[in-house]
């Protein structure tokens, strides 16, 4: 099975990231199975930083509840890089504790946005999938 994201979910996170720039934007990506994203669950970047992000624990809890209530899986989480490429920073890798989910990064550094998904295990990027 190949990782996919619907146009609607992608447009939702793209709009969110453009509205939040130059601050990094973030959220969860949900879907009916682990390889299909159909929804962007918007989250607040409580760091309000152009270079890193953190989720609000209360929102994380609400997102997980929302997914469970609606029978959706957490495919992964995403954040934007307003001015740098779509690849994990050293800090992104350090904070990637779940080997089973995808870490999506949207780069707005070039005129055409770039959207990649990464699998990260034991401090190493083991897979990269280009989605846009
Ligand atoms: Zn990052």
When pLDDT is averaged across residues 7-18 and rounded to a whole number, the result is 98
Count of structural domains within the chain: 1
CA of 7 to the centre of ligand 1 (A): 23
CA of 80 to the centre of ligand 1 (A): 7
Distance (Å, rounded) from C-alpha 35 to C-alpha 65?
A: 20
| 53 in any annotated domain | yes
Do residues 107 and 14 touch, judged by C-beta distance below 8 A? no
Q: How many helices (H) and strands (E) does the chain have?
A: 3, 8
CA of 101 to the centre of ligand 1 (A): 16
Distance (Å, rounded) from C-alpha 107 to C-alpha 88?
A: 11
Tell me which residue range forms the domain holding 16: 8-28+41-111
pLDDT digits (tens, 9 = 90+) for 55-95: 999 999 999 999 999 999 999 999 999 999 999 999 999 99
Structure tokens at 5: 């994201």
Task: Please tell me the pTM assigned to this model.
Answer: 0.96
CA of 105 to the centre of ligand 1 (A): 7
3-state secondary structure of 29: strand
| 119 in any annotated domain | no
| 66 in any annotated domain | yes
| 94 in any annotated domain | yes
| 20 in any annotated domain | yes
């Amino acid at each position: 099975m190949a990782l996919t994201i619907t146009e609607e979910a992608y447009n939702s996170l793209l709009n969110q990231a453009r509205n939040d720039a130059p601050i990094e934007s973030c959220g969860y990506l949900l879907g009916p199975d682990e390889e299909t994203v159909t929804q962007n669950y918007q989250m607040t970047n409580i760091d309000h930083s152009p270079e890193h992000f953190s989720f609000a624990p209360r929102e994380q809890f609400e997102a997980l509840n929302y997914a469970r209530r609606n029978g959706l899986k957490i495919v992964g989480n995403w954040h934007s890089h307003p001015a740098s490429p779509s690849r994990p920073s050293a800090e992104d890798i350090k904070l990637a504790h779940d080997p089973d989910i995808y870490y999506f990064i949207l780069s707005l550094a070039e005129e055409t946005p770039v959207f990649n998904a990464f699998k990260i295990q034991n401090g190493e990027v083991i897979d990269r999938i280009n989605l846009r």
